[in-house]
Chain A
Amino acid sequence: MRPFDYRRPASAAEAAADGAETGTAFIAGGTNLLDLMKLEVMAPARLVDISRLDMGEIEQTEDGGLRIGALVPNSDLAADPRIRRDYAVLSRALLAGASGQLRNKATTGGNLLQRTRCYYFYDTAMPCNKRQPGSGCAAIGGFNRIHAVLGASDHCIATHPSDMAVAMRALDARIETLAPDGSSREIPIADFYRLPGQTPHLETMLTPGELIRAVRLPPPRGGRHVYRKVRDRASYAFALVSVAAMIRIEDGVIADAALAFGGLAPLPWRDTRIEAMLIGEAPARELFALASELLVDAAQGRGSNDFKIPLARRTLAAVLGEACELEIAA
């Protein structure tokens, strides 16, 4: 870990201003940042400690949604009665991630900004375009069991590891930020992440110093919420594939559907073609099979991750079946 300046600003505005300086990183929970700093995968010259700023509340918004402070720990968010009742997919996704200890420390804002778990990104002896632009990608042609089959490029095939962000994507969350100049904006999660293309080191649309202040959830959409995570052991492992689903059925047809996917792509994946195919149709096994095929129609395996393609297809079909069944039973 490289030496760094440590600052603890008194306000979010001050933090954003501090953050504008080159080589600065915000630290809140630190569960991923310190992990990477110990390995010098990340080596900020300055840490701006935002952990004590006043951004730890979950509030009702005027439109009937929720505003989740960026510093709300993952465990508190998962246990919040409003989240459990109205946004169950988010609670489920959070509870499927990491461990009790990590969820207590990891924050809502930090979780969105988790870096990939790519083995080669984590190993400074290996080339990695994300860590060191232009050095190459060791995962292509290497061991890539956990890597992306959708949205990857020839420069990077890393996946985004978050469970929470997958649920947020299905929920159409909006990310509220504060820039160093004091301006704030809301970025729909659909526009928040970037695909790797030729610049895999650029992962989000945040500008230098731009601080995530909160995440806004739209009013509850109702329906049945399912989060299914497939992994290599029963707990405490990253997703190979995960599916976040919200399905509402009215009069025997699917009236609303929102689906997002983890483990498959460099960002929490969403494919609105699938939702369009489902809405207005009666739930049926054949329909789910077609929807699942659509999910992977452009998928590309890299060898050790080929299995993710059938796995994603099968998991989505099962999740759709489960959500519809529960919805009909209710």
Chain B
Amino acid sequence: MLDIDPRTSILDALRNHIGLTGTKKGCDHGQCGACTVLVNGRRINSCLTLAVMHDEDAITTIEGLGEPDHLSPLQAAFVRHDGFQCGYCTSGQICSATAMLDELQQGWPSHVSADLEAAPDPTDAEISERMSGNLCRCAAYPNIVDAIREVAGGGK
């Protein structure tokens, strides 16, 4: 149990109270995606929700997806494809991609899906649109798409 100010976001609870600093603060307003974590398996911006509202939820951060010598397939693919440079948006990118692949699997459509009712393929455009909530100023976007496509088994 964590006894904290009700004003504390999940993001600040992780970073300032629990010591899990892998989750990053880039804007604190849901405008960059660096703080993306999984709550009960779904990706959200941890800056825009209060810790006090999630006392019964399972929160997975980047630290929970893999360790430096036991990387998840997405984490390893990001290293291979240089899907980052400075690394600051990377935790959010990988948490986001992890959940995004689930969303694809469940057949969720996206803004770029031509057919709302068909099962979407992990094309470059689908990956890019679904990852557009994660800004990367180093602009590793093409490499991020390569990494995710490889794990998703998609074609260009």
Contact = CB atoms under 8 A, between A and B. Distances in A.
Interface of A: 1, 3-4, 6, 27, 29-31, 34-35, 38, 47, 49, 51, 75, 78-79, 81, 84-85, 88, 91-92, 95-96, 98-102, 104-105, 234-236
B29 to A, nearest CB: 5
A91 B115 CA distance: 11
A105 B43 CA distance: 9
B121 interface: no
Of A30, A51, A85, most B-chain CB atoms within 10 Å: A30
B33 interface: yes
Contact of A105 (B49, B108, B117, B134): B49
Given A79-B109, A84-B117, A91-B116, A100 B133 contact: yes
Contact of B108 (A35, A78, A101, A234): A78
A89 B46 CA distance: 29
28 contacts: A4-B6, A4-B7, A6-B50, A30-B49, A35-B29, A38-B29, A49-B52, A75-B103, A79-B106, A79-B108, A79-B109, A85-B117, A95-B113, A99-B30, A99-B132, A99-B134, A100-B43, A100-B100, A100-B103, A100-B133, A101-B43, A101-B44, A101-B45, A101-B133, A102-B44, A104-B43, A105-B44, A105-B48
B2 interface: no
A85 B118 CA distance: 11
B28 A38 contact: yes
Nearest to B129: A235
Contacts of A30: 48-50, 53
B108 A6 contact: no
B48 A35 contact: yes
Given A4-B7, A78-B109, A102-B133, A51 B53 contact: yes
A6 B132 contact: no
Contacts of B50: 6, 27, 30, 34
A6 B110 contact: no
Given A34-B50, A75-B103, 18 more contacts: A29-B49, A38-B29, A51-B53, A75-B108, A92-B116, A95-B109, A98-B133, A99-B134, A100-B96, A100-B99, A100-B130, A100-B133, A101-B45, A102-B30, A102-B45, A104-B43, A105-B48, A234-B129
A31 B30 contact: yes
Nearest to A6: B6
A100 B45 CA distance: 10
Contact of B9 (A29, A34, A100, A105): A34
